[in-house]
Amino acid sequence: MSNFYKKILDNNKQWVESQLALDPDYFNDLSKGQNPPLLWIGCSDSRVPANEIIGAKPGEVFVHRNIANLVIHTDMNMLSVLDYAVNALKVKHIIVCGHYGCGGVKAAMGNESIGIIDNWIRHIKDLFRIHQEELLSIDDEEKRFNKLVELNVVEQVYDLAKTSIVQNAWKIGQELSLHGWVYGLNSGYVTDLDVNFSCNKDLDEVFKLNI
């Protein structure tokens, strides 16, 4: 057995012991149910662990992660997580959190074929095309990359707001706010991009649903 594999099993035992030492009912209480106020939609990148970077405990964050934190409205996985989070768990906030240095966004800016992922990050290429003028006017490659990371987060927040699930929640008066963040791999800090929705009034007319 590899050292790493053995280590993570040992880590689990130690973690259980340390939690129980603090609170003997810790796992009993958690097993009774969850009531998280937040749905986190983030990147699969191993360096952006949702709970750790916001100091959240087990039970506080419902999490969905995929490559480049995309909200694709035909993605049954994302839609199922979103539906359950909004309609069953009644989360009050949804954060889309991208990160600078995102490999998915970087790959989308280039021309190399990587495999199946080419089709997934095509969504980011579409976004690049929409913002082509602005992006190509940025000479510094790193800054252009950062800008696309930010534009991608903003777009995904809009795409969340366009879903029937989110619009339906607003229609029935459920408290639900959407936010967009970018995490800095080299600083540990998140930046709030100030793209906030709590109703559908800022959506383009064509996306507003009469639910």
Residues that bind Zn ion (CB under 5 A): 43, 45, 102, 104
Q: How far apart are CB 102 and Zn ion at their closest, in Å?
A: 3
Q: Which 8-state DSSP code applies to residue 88?
A: I
Q: Which two tokens stand for residue 184?
A: 């800095």
Can you tell me the distance from the alpha carbon of 37 to that of 90, in angstroms, rounded to the nearest whole number? 7
Q: Residue 45 or residue 159: which is nearer to Zn ion going by CB?
A: 45
Identify which of residues 2 and 46 has a Cβ nearer to Zn ion in the complex. 46
In sequence order, the β-bridge partners of residue 177 are 93
Backbone angles phi, psi at 95, to 5 degrees: -115, 125
Question: Could you say which of 99, 123, 159, 179 is catalytic?
Answer: 99
Residue 65 falls in the annotated catalytic set: no
Instruction: Give me the torsion for CA of 110, 69, 147, 131, rounded to 10°.
Output: 70
Exactly one of 102, 123, 159, 179 is catalytic; name it: 102
As measured in angstroms, the least distance from the Cβ of 125 to Zn ion is: 15
Residue 179 among the catalytic residues: no
Q: Which is nearer to Zn ion, 66 or 168 (CB)?
A: 66
**76: helix, coil or strand?**
helix
DSSP assignment letter at 197: B
Task: Point out the catalytic residue in the list 23, 47, 118, 192.
Answer: 47
**Please, is 117 exposed, middle or buried when counting C-beta atoms within 10 Å of its C-beta (0-12, 13-18, 19+)?**
middle
The least distance separating Zn ion from the CB of residue 50, rounded to whole angstroms, comes to 13
- Give catalytic status of residue 199 as yes or no: no
- Select 124 or 169, whichever has its Cβ closest to Zn ion: 124
Distance in Å, CB of 61 to Zn ion, minimum: 18
* 97 is an active site residue: no
In the bound state with Zn ion, the residue whose beta carbon lies nearer, of 65 and 90, is 65
Whether 123 is catalytic: no
Q: Kindly name the residue from 45, 64, 159, 179 that is annotated as catalytic.
A: 45
Contact yes or no for 46/52 (Cβ under 8 A): no
Angle among Cα 39, 118, 124 to the nearest 5 degrees reads 55
Supply the minimum distance, in Å, between the C-beta of residue 75 and Zn ion. 16
> Looking at the annotation, which residues are catalytic?
43, 45, 47, 99, 102
